Amino acid sequence: MKTLDAETKQQILDSIRTIPDFPKPGIQFKDITTLLGDSKAFRLLMDHLEARYSDYTLDYVAGIDARGFIFGAVLADRLGVGFVPVRKKGKLPYTTVSEKYSLEYGFDEVEIHIDAFGHNGCQPDGRSSRVLLIDDLIATGGTAVAASRLIENVGATCVEACFIMELAFLNGREGIQAPVYSVLD
């Protein structure tokens, strides 16, 4: 199940609730809590992601704060690889590296532990750690671009950035140097 058929895509899409005018008028918020609560749809999604990434020889899955933690941790477990949280600034207890990104009004930062992907981002055999970046949604791409840069900045390789949903009209994928895969657009 490396690609999804139209029926399976529709089942997953139908499990996601849209909330109009949240958090402000004009926004159509995509609420993935209903997907998480639908065991059949969630299993279809996770089976698809496991099949897609089983041949990528990954070392880690990195999930973006906070909903990326859910999908990333489950997928990492299924693939038998480590999970790394990409957190908002100030949430990690050890030495970190951070990357700023712009918001509509100002800036924010995400960070990871300096040794999140091994010493200098490498595995014990010296090769660069292979990392999949995952989150629930990509819109303008600021957080995802910053997270992918973090992975590369510590010496690991971001082999792909995966999103459950993409708001393609916002062109958020453009700044990500790794290939981008979205399950739903």
Handedness of CA 43, 111, 23, 139 (dihedral sign): negative
Of 67, 78, 109, 152, which is the active-site residue? Answer: 67
- Is-catalytic flag, 67? yes
CA distance 107 to 142: 10
Question: Which residues are CB-contacts of 113 (< 8 A; sequence separation ≥ 6)?
Answer: 84, 92, 94, 95, 96
- Sheet-wide strand order for 60-64: 96-103, 106-113, 82-88, 60-64, 130-138, 157-166, 180-184
CA distance 180 to 117: 20
Cβ neighbour number for residue 33 with a 10 Å cutoff: 11
- How many residues in the chain? 185
Of 7, 52, 104, 174, which is the active-site residue? Answer: 104
Question: Could you tell me which of 116, 181, 183 has the C-alpha nearest to residue 144?
Answer: 181
- Is-catalytic flag, 104? yes
User: Which are the catalytic amino acids?
Assistant: 67, 104
